[in-house]
Chains A and B, each alone.
Chain A
Amino acid sequence: MIEIDGLTKSYGRRIVVDGVSLTIPRGGLTGIIGPNGAGKSTLLGLASRLLAADRGTVTVDGLDVARASGELLARRLSVLKQENRVAARLTVRDLVAFGRYPHSRGRLSSSEWAHVEKALAFLDLQPISGSFLDELSGGQRQRAYVAMVLSQDTDYMLFDEPLSSLDIRHAVSMMHLLRNASRSFGKAVVVVLHDINIAANFADRIIGMKDGRVAFHGDTADVMTGAFLSSIYDIPIRVHRLEGQYVTTYALPGGPEGGAGEDPVLVAGD
């Protein structure tokens, strides 16, 4: 369980994360959504000890992330930032193998390599496993970073917008993969998501953020409503079910209800 208590972070006089308290259980995928600048990345950075909080605590299975040894924590919790500027010229396989570093400290046994190969296969990277990172497209590189975090194989995995620069096929398959990891292996997977449709269809729980605070938090079915979404994004949003999937529509600039068309079944609360 990740327990966040009274977490606060400011830059200058601007409070970016404002007294956030949350509990994130294991088993299941937690999506974090919210407008640009809501503080999602900062919250994730604080939770994964990449940033230092001004106030408040984060514990992972009782371990205070601000004080725990980096080595120990790296075997329990992993994080992938939104932007990664890797200058080192590594092959995809080498990068993914470094995900095992917290466990192996560089001495990779064959069972360690099995983790690496599995992560490569999961992300469809085997055909390019020998290519250098600086020779890949943005989306391929992104998949390699995610594979590295998967091979780290921690109970808690945090991803900040891992779908950016992925095409729809790879985005959907990555979300499937992350959800399976969380459900079948009892991991806690926390993903900041840009696309509310993806969040609605893959997350078991959703945290909605606005202005550094948690606006709502709950099971997807309970919080995926027009009222909640409209309140954080400040435009009218409606939530529909279509062929078993959540579909959101939003007001188009031309008219107040423009673009919604003939509504499929509306979800309660809208």
Chain B
Amino acid sequence: MASQMQARTLRSTIGGLTAGLLVLGALAAASLFIGVADLTPARLADPATREAAMSTLMDSRLPRTMALLLSGSCLAIAGVIMQMLTRNRFVEPTTAGTTEAAGFGMLVMLLLFPGAPVVIKSLVAAGFACAGTAVFLRLLRAVPPGAPLLVPLTGIMFGGIVGSVTAFIAHRYGLMQSLGAWRNGDFSVVISGRYELLWLTLVLSVAAYLAADRFTIAGLGGDMSRNLGLDYGKTMAVGLVIVSLVSALVVTTVGSIPFLGLVVPNLVSLAAGDNLRRTLPWMAISGAAVVLVCDMVGRLIVAPYEIPAGTVFGVLGSAVFLYLLLGRSTRAA
């Protein structure tokens, strides 16, 4: 009976995921054909215009769409991992100082080793992100349990301090423009050759999926984790590294998208719970879809100009964030 039920849930899971992927595919296709340069399926088919159309597609549209898919999915996954590890619904890379610390790391590299390859810069930024998150986790020990909202507030304040220091230094050295780019997720800058590092986030997302059960168990708390024989410290460390790398890679290639890792996981969790083995694919699909939609809205409403996807999401996301804050703070602990 149990196995029958398992088989049935498995079938409905696969059915649901297929539907989700189809919707995502449709969004991605739409995203490919929106923009200033004229790119339509017809122009791709017509031999006279094919070459120009192909180059628009391969050099700018495809990279942009891929960057949207990759960053949206990994940010949602990073968010839910942080929420499990801190057992708090309101923690994500931009409410824990992670993103700001990554930005600080980038600035340090720009000042000291401006010629270093982007990979190295990203790795160093990830190191800073890791250290910043570790400081945040250390600060959390002073937060009394039963005050869940103090946790993201602490993180936002800590991130604010790191961000101010970064801004101060950037201002002195005339690097405010770079700083702006990291702060606001903008996919208009994505062209072939400038985003490929983001593919590493796919590896990280897969790694997160493989460790999904561990993160769920960590979400049950340290004592239950130890009871189940989970190496709690190691799981925390692995999660921290994944989250830091994801934040650093996204910040350095397209810029941060505040609250994405908070809004998407909360909505998915409300609908489907927190068994990450089951929900992580949904996190990835929903995160990617939300970012795709925000980017398209930003391109359409002021065409031929653009509003960065991060800004569009900022408006939408803050509204949902407030709603979640008011609605869920009583239950989230």
Q: Which of A5-13, A15-23, A28-36, A71-79 contacts B (4 or more CB under 8 A)?
A: A71-79
Q: Which of B56-64, B132-140, B161-169, B225-233 contacts A (4 or more CB under 8 A)?
A: B225-233
Chain A nearest CB, measured from B40 CB (Å): 44
Measured CB to CB, the nearest residue on chain A to B87 is A87
Task: Write out the residue numbers on chain A whose beta carbons fall within 8 Å of the beta carbon of B6.
Answer: 110, 113
Task: Write out the residue numbers on chain A whose beta carbons fall within 8 Å of the beta carbon of B306.
Answer: none
Instruction: Evaluate contact between B274 and A88: CB separation under 8 angstroms.
Output: yes
Judge if A267 is at the interface, Cβ distance under 8 Å.
no
Instruction: Identify the 4 closest CB pairs spanning chains A and B, nearest first.
Output: A74-B229, A88-B219, A113-B2, A106-B213
Chain B nearest CB, measured from A138 CB (Å): 14
Chain B nearest CB, measured from A6 CB (Å): 23
Judge if B299 is at the interface, Cβ distance under 8 Å.
no
Mask: chain A, 44-73; 1 = CB below 8 Å from B; 0 = not: 000011100000000000000000011111
Judge if B178 is at the interface, Cβ distance under 8 Å.
no
Instruction: Evaluate contact between A48 and B221: CB separation under 8 angstroms.
Output: no
Measured CB to CB, the nearest residue on chain A to B232 is A70
Decide yes or no: A85 and B221 within 8 Å by CB, A98-B216, A102-B228 being known contacts. Answer: yes
5 pairs, CB–CB < 8 Å, chain A vs chain B: A69-B229, A84-B223, A88-B84, A88-B220, A110-B2
Task: Write out the residue numbers on chain B whose beta carbons fall within 8 Å of the beta carbon of A149.
Answer: 227
Taking a contact as CB atoms closer than 8 A, the residue among A50, A78, A85 that contacts B333 in the complex is: A85
Chain B nearest CB, measured from A166 CB (Å): 19
Q: Which of A89-97, A193-201, A231-239 contacts B (4 or more CB under 8 A)?
A: A89-97
Decide yes or no: A84 and B221 within 8 Å by CB, A91-B273, A94-B273, A110-B3 being known contacts. Answer: yes
Chain A nearest CB, measured from B5 CB (Å): 9
Decide yes or no: A87 and B3 within 8 Å by CB, A74-B227, A74-B228, A101-B228 being known contacts. Answer: no
Instruction: Evaluate contact between A84 and B226: CB separation under 8 angstroms.
Output: no
User: A50 to B230, alpha carbons, bound, how many Å?
Assistant: 12
Judge if B47 is at the interface, Cβ distance under 8 Å.
no
Task: Write out the residue numbers on chain A whose beta carbons fall within 8 Å of the beta carbon of B213.
Answer: 98, 101, 105-106
Instruction: Evaluate contact between A98 and B229: CB separation under 8 angstroms.
Output: no
Judge if A177 is at the interface, Cβ distance under 8 Å.
no
Instruction: Evaluate contact between B229 and A86: CB separation under 8 angstroms.
Output: no
Measured CB to CB, the nearest residue on chain B to A86 is B220
Judge if A216 is at the interface, Cβ distance under 8 Å.
no
Instruction: Evaluate contact between A90 and B275: CB separation under 8 angstroms.
Output: yes
Measured CB to CB, the nearest residue on chain B to A71 is B229
Q: Among residues 211 to 267 in chain B, which have CB atoms less than 8 Å away from a CB atom of chain A?
A: 213, 216-217, 219-221, 223-224, 226-231
Q: Among residues 273 to 329 in chain B, which have CB atoms less than 8 Å away from a CB atom of chain A?
A: 273-275, 277
User: A69 to B231, alpha carbons, bound, how many Å?
Assistant: 9
Decide yes or no: A94 and B227 within 8 Å by CB, A89-B269, A113-B3 being known contacts. Answer: no
User: A98 to B216, alpha carbons, bound, how many Å?
Assistant: 9
User: A234 to B16, alpha carbons, bound, how many Å?
Assistant: 62
Chain B residues touching A, range:
20 to 34
Judge if A217 is at the interface, Cβ distance under 8 Å.
no
Given contacts A88-B84, A89-B270, A94-B275, 20 further A-B contacts (CB under 8 A): A48-B227, A50-B223, A50-B227, A70-B230, A70-B231, A73-B229, A79-B227, A81-B223, A81-B224, A84-B221, A85-B221, A86-B219, A87-B89, A88-B87, A88-B216, A88-B274, A89-B269, A90-B274, A99-B228, A114-B2
Judge if A117 is at the interface, Cβ distance under 8 Å.
yes
Judge if A116 is at the interface, Cβ distance under 8 Å.
yes
Judge if A122 is at the interface, Cβ distance under 8 Å.
no
Task: Write out the residue numbers on chain B whose beta carbons fall within 8 Å of the beta carbon of A79.
Answer: 223, 227
Chain B CB within 10 A, most for which of A79, A106, A113: A106
Judge if A250 is at the interface, Cβ distance under 8 Å.
no
Task: Write out the residue numbers on chain B whose beta carbons fall within 8 Å of the beta carbon of A101.
Answer: 213, 217, 228-230
Task: Write out the residue numbers on chain B whose beta carbons fall within 8 Å of the beta carbon of A106.
Answer: 213, 277
Task: Write out the residue numbers on chain B whose beta carbons fall within 8 Å of the beta carbon of A88.
Answer: 84, 87, 216, 219-220, 274
User: A116 to B5, alpha carbons, bound, how many Å?
Assistant: 13
User: A85 to B88, alpha carbons, bound, how many Å?
Assistant: 11
Chain A nearest CB, measured from B150 CB (Å): 15
Judge if A152 is at the interface, Cβ distance under 8 Å.
yes
Judge if A257 is at the interface, Cβ distance under 8 Å.
no
Judge if A132 is at the interface, Cβ distance under 8 Å.
yes
Judge if A263 is at the interface, Cβ distance under 8 Å.
no
Task: Write out the residue numbers on chain A whose beta carbons fall within 8 Å of the beta carbon of B224.
Answer: 81, 84, 86
Judge if A134 is at the interface, Cβ distance under 8 Å.
yes
User: A25 to B220, alpha carbons, bound, how many Å?
Assistant: 30
Mask: chain B, 23-63; 1 = CB below 8 Å from A; 0 = not: 00000000000000000000000000000000000000000
User: A216 to B270, alpha carbons, bound, how many Å?
Assistant: 50
User: A75 to B228, alpha carbons, bound, how many Å?
Assistant: 8
Instruction: Evaluate contact between A87 and B217: CB separation under 8 angstroms.
Output: no
Task: Write out the residue numbers on chain B whose beta carbons fall within 8 Å of the beta carbon of A84.
Answer: 221, 223-224
Chain A nearest CB, measured from B268 CB (Å): 10
Measured CB to CB, the nearest residue on chain A to B89 is A87
Judge if B331 is at the interface, Cβ distance under 8 Å.
yes
Judge if B1 is at the interface, Cβ distance under 8 Å.
yes
User: A66 to B277, alpha carbons, bound, how many Å?
Assistant: 31
Chain A CB within 10 A, most for which of B224, B270, B277: B224
Instruction: Evaluate contact between B2 and A87: CB separation under 8 angstroms.
Output: no
Instruction: Evaluate contact between A70 and B229: CB separation under 8 angstroms.
Output: yes
Judge if B153 is at the interface, Cβ distance under 8 Å.
no
Instruction: Evaluate contact between B227 and A132: CB separation under 8 angstroms.
Output: no
User: A213 to B94, alpha carbons, bound, how many Å?
Assistant: 49
Judge if B143 is at the interface, Cβ distance under 8 Å.
no
Chain A nearest CB, measured from B218 CB (Å): 9
